[in-house]
Structure formats: structure tokens, C-alpha cells
Structure 1
Amino acid sequence: MADSPPAAPLRLSTVILPVRRWSQGGRQVWQRAEELGFHTAYTYDHLSWRSFRDQAWFGAIPTLTAAAAVTDRLRLGTMVTSPNFRHPVTLAKELITLDDVADGRVTLGIGAGGSGFDATALGHDAWTPRERADRFAEFVPLLDRLLTEGGPGGVSFKGDFYSARDVRNIPGCVQRPRLPFAVAATGPRGMRLAARHGQAWVTTGDPATADASPKEAVDGLARQVDRLAGACAEAGREPGAIGKVLLTGFTPHRPLESLDAFVDLAGRVHELGFTEMLVHWPIPDSVFAADQDLFERIATEGLAQLTA
């Protein structure tokens, strides 16, 4: 029997919420993320978010564009963009511009959206989960086309929710055929979109285990990985060809409480086949409060200890 191929290495990335003025620490945080060696620094693409509703909160694409201008190696991305207040045509133009400024260092994290503040900001009632899934199923393929086929021939499309008429996106992305998609999904329809269009799949954990024990949460992640493998098989794609990303902070685990806690969770998710793990940059007096010195030690030593 042939030996199993070695597991893909686990990469460590961070999520920097857009809560700091650029002139008052915003620039330095993104530069520090690069110095610490994070693979990618993402930011939330929301108009506001939960407990930060009445605090400073800046736009994702402008923030990432500014970050691209003050970093050289760090990949940058959204975690995640959704149809809640985005349209594929305008989003595609912003993304090819961002990818150009960043010289091909951009990943688009994309999901169906939720029922938070973004859901009603444009004046309509919040969509039901089914309506969000229906829109997402149209949004992702159209965005894919706009980023890959938007040359002189243009892209035209008329769907139930989105339309495009003779749209050109010249010169296209620096990354070819387009910048990578990391598709957030928990249900079967989202998993199928990730298998067809995603270079990676993103999860915050199985919703059914949100209030369960740490072991049950890991078991839930394992079931999600199995469901993704089934979606890949249906799409004629090898499960190993798609990255698997865990956004931490939404399971019972607390990986930023200690180096040992981080290494333990990282080891467990790596065994399940995850290829990237995201931790939130600390924000004092918030749900993402954490010791900054410990956070930086995790960034520089955590994966090395896992390997050892």
C-alpha cells in the first residue's frame, strides 16, 4: 500500500478589524502583521459589526488598498464579503484595482451574508436564509465571470437577482485567471459553490456545536470536512485541491489564552486537513481582547512548536 501524501502545511493568518484610524495606529498594525510573519491579514467586509456598532469602523476595500501600499509580502483579504450590500459588477472593479495595487497579493473571502446590521442598511428587509443562499448562488458565478472574462468582449448576464450588460474589466487581475476565492459555507449549496469556484473553503465551525464541548466542536469540523469532500467529488475535484480555512473565535476553543491552547487546537485542525488558521488581532475591551505579547509569541512560535 502506498504511503499517504504528506499533509499540506498549516499557515497562520490574522484578522484585523477596521476599527483604527490610519494615522492613529491603523498603518502600524498592518505593518506589524507582516513583520510577525502572518501568511495573510484579512479584514471584515461589513458596514458595522455587532458590539462595534457605535464605534469607529472603516470600509474594507479602502483599508486593504492602504495596507497594500505599506506592505510588501503580506497577503491581504476580506473575511468575508457578501451580497448584503455588494453587487458583482462594482465589486469586480474594486477587486481588480486592489489586486493591482497589491501586485497580486489579494484573496477574496466571500460568503452568503447574515442577518446583522448590513442586512437592512440599504433599506430592504433582511433576506431569509433561503433568499441569501439563492442570491449567493448567482453572485459567485457572475463575479467569477466578471474577473476572468471581462476583456474586450465584455460580460453580459441577466439573472433573478443580478444583471450585467457588456461589462469590461481591463486589464483584469494581476493573479491569473483571477484572484483566489475563499468561500465560506456550512450548508450543502454553499459547499457546492466552494467546490466549483473556490480555491479555499472557510468555516467558523459547525453551527450545531457552537455551544458544545471543545471535542464535540472538533468532531463537528471533521463532519464539515467530510461534507466538503462529498461536494468536491460531485464537482469532479480532488478534496486536497481546495484549501481549508478555520476562522477561530466562534467555537468553544480559546487559542489565544496560552501558547499550549493554540498549539493544541492547531494540531487538531491540521490533522483534519485544514491548511490555514485565522486568529483575530487583539482589540482591548472587546470580544477580541487578548494579551498582545502572548499574541505575538503565538504568531512567531506557535506553528514551530506544532511542527516540533
Structure 2
Amino acid sequence: MSLRLSTVILPVDRWNEGGRAKWQRAEDLGFHAAYTYDHLSWRTFRDGPWFGAVPTLTAAAATTSRLRLGTLVTSPNFRHPVTLAKDLISLDDVSDGRITLGIGAGGIGFDATALGQEPWTPRERADRFAEFVALLDRLLSEDAVTEEGRFYSAVEARNIPGCVQRPRLPFAVAATGPRGLRLAARYGQAWVTTGDPKLYENGTPEQSVEALRGQLARLGEACAEAGRDVAELDKILLTGFTPDRSGPLQSLDAFVDFAGRHRELGFSEIVVHWPVPDSDFAADQKVFERIAMEAAAQLG
């Protein structure tokens, strides 16, 4: 099975002071896709520069021609399906059909309270996520949508001419629990995981591989329940959150070994963070670029 290599570029640079250059360089290096995080602020970057995902991707679409673009991931924390759908259709048009929407249930980080609300419970996040994905699917596929939901509604919401990609742009659904996996099986063109968060601090790479194997098995069960072949979904691993940490980016050989083990599990796309100096995502830029240019050939 072939393995695609992609990157996630954190929106921390002013566009004219390095931001544009990173997205252009990602295309030059041959990455399959370049994603960005869709947050209002994030973790240790909260007190530094952080730009919006939709404007950043619009600019990236205008300055690249081949690279797929997308979010990893968008959540309901501060988004509404009606306004998000309009932005996504516009993005898909500007990029000429190169947008993938990574979408997840969100968490309890800064986005969860920035609009003044109390953090949602895990159950409410799951309930909202299910309704959010279902309505967004309709909004991106139909010219006019009216729907009254418990959390999200639309009244004659118009989305003409719709997406360039038909019937709509692809969803990459981030999920590990039963309800999220069922959403991925029903609505996803791809599935995203960061591994098992319980293993991040004290787990081993071997335990992480076994945890991922279990997630893939449960995805297969969800697809079977939905009457769908799990092979139809791309399986995306967003790296940087497994016990390996930055180990795979230490050398070309280390990355090829890491990627090969995960390809054998069934992953079709590996996403690595573009290096950010003095952060959890610091890495040698030259090694990173060598991996981008040479790893795919070694992996076959």
C-alpha cells in the first residue's frame, strides 16, 4: 500500500514574514497535503501570534496550485455549520477543489470558553458533534437546507453553486470513541487519529502501535455496521502525540522505520508538523526537508 506524506503548518507567522514561504515550500517539497489547526489560540502558543485557519487557507490556496489543503481539525467549539459551510464552499472554489475538512468533536481547551460559554461535557460534545456533522453534510451537498436541530438549525440556508468537489469536499473525521467512529464510517472520506492520549506521557512505541491497531479494528467494525467497506476511507495519523514524540524526525532512517510500521497497520497518510523553533515541534529543518523529499521513495 502506498503511503502519502503531509504536513501541518501552525498559523504562527505573519503572511509576509514567512507564512507564505512555508506553504509554497511545502508544495515544492512534494507533500501530498498541508493542513493547519483551526483554533482561536492553542496550548503553549496562546500568548504568541496565532492566525485564523480559513483566511490562512484561502491565502495558501491562492499561492499554491497542486498541494491539497485543509484543517486538522475544525470543531463545533466556536463554529456553526451554516457559516462554516459558506466559508468551505468559498475555499473549495478558490483552491479549485483542493480542500479537505478535518473535523472533530473538540475539547476543553481555550476554544471551549472563548465565546463565554461553559465547557461542554463529553456527552454534550459528542451530541453536538453528531448534529454538526450531519447538518454540515447537507449544507455542502444541497442548494438550500432547512433543518431544526437541538443545537444547530438552518432556515433556507443557500449554498449555490456548491463545492467544486462533488458531491461535496471530503471529510476527514477525527475519532476514537464508538460514536465518533460511527460518524467517520457514515460521513467520512478519511479517518484521523493522534493515537492513544493515555500513552503520551508514559507509554511505549510498542504500546502505541497496539493501541492504533485496536482503533483501526474498531473503525472496521463501525464501517461494517454502516454497510461500508473500511478500505474506502483514508487512514490519517497526525504525528507528534504518540510516545515517539519527535523521534521520527530525528533522521531519515528513523522516519522511514516509523512510517513503515504504521503503513503496515493500515495507515495511508502520515502528517508531520512543520518545525517550529523553541517549541514542542522543534526539529532540524534540513532533516525535515530531506524526509519530505526522500522518504516516500524509500517506503515504495
> Paired residue for 2:25?
32
Match of residue 83 from structure 1: 76
Q: How many residues are paired up?
A: 297
Question: Residue deviations 1:19-46, cap 9 Å, x none?
Answer: 0000101100000000000000000000
**Structure 2 residue identity aligned to 1:62:** P
SS at match of 1:113: coil
**Which residue of the partner structure matches residue 225 of structure 2?**
234
The alpha-carbon deviation at position 255 of structure 1 amounts to: 1.1
Q: Give, in angstroms, the shift of residue 298 of structure 1.
A: 0.4
SS across alignment from 1:255: helix
Kindly provide the amino acid, as one letter, of the partner of residue 242 in structure 2: T
**Post-superposition offset of 1:11:** 0.3
1:258-283 deviations in whole A, cap 9, x for unaligned? 11211111001101111100000001
- Within 1, Cα distance between the matches of 2:199 and 2:146? 42
Shift, 1:103, TM fit? 0.3
Residue 138 in structure 1 maps to residue 141 in structure 2:
no
How much has 1:208 moved relative to structure 2? 3.6
Matched, 1:212 2:203: yes
Aligned to 2:12: 19
Matches within 5 A, 1:1-308: 7=1, 9-149=2-142, 151=143, 154-210=144-200, 211-253=202-244, 254-307=247-300
Q: Matches of 1:127 and 1:264 in 2, distance apart? A: 39
Amino acid of the residue matched to residue 85 of structure 1? F
Per-residue deviation, 1:304: 1.3
Shift of 1:169: 0.1
Gaps of 5+ in 2: none
Tell me by how many angstroms 1:124 deviates: 0.6
Partner Cα distance (2:269, 2:196) in 1 = 17
CA RMSD of aligned residues (A): 0.7
Looking at structure 1, the residues matched to 299 and 66 of structure 2 have their Cα atoms a distance apart, in angstroms, of: 24
Instruction: List gaps (5 residues or longer) in structure 1.
Output: 1-6
CA-to-aligned-CA distance 1:55-76 (integer Å, 9 cap, x gap): 0000000000000000000000
Match of 1:3 in 2: none
Identity in percent: 74
**Matched residues in 1 for 2:178 and 2:250: separation?**
33
Instruction: State the shift of 1:160 in Å.
Output: 0.8
AA matched with 2:84: L
Tell me how far 1:209 sits from its aligned partner.
Answer: 2.7
Aligned equivalents of 2:188 and 2:42: distance in 1?
25
Runs of 4+ that moved beyond 6 A: none
What TM-score comes out, normalization by structure 2 length? 0.98
Q: Tell me the TM-score normalized by structure 1.
A: 0.95
Higher alpha-carbon deviation: 292-301 or 248-257: 248-257
Question: 1: distance between equivalents of 2:251 and 2:41?
Answer: 30
- 2:105 & 2:221 partners in 1: Cα distance? 20
Measure how far apart 1:206 and its partner are: 2.0
Deviation per CA, 1:105-142, whole angstroms, max 9, x where unpaired? Answer: 00000000011000000001111111100100100010
Secondary structure of the residue aligned to 2:248 is coil
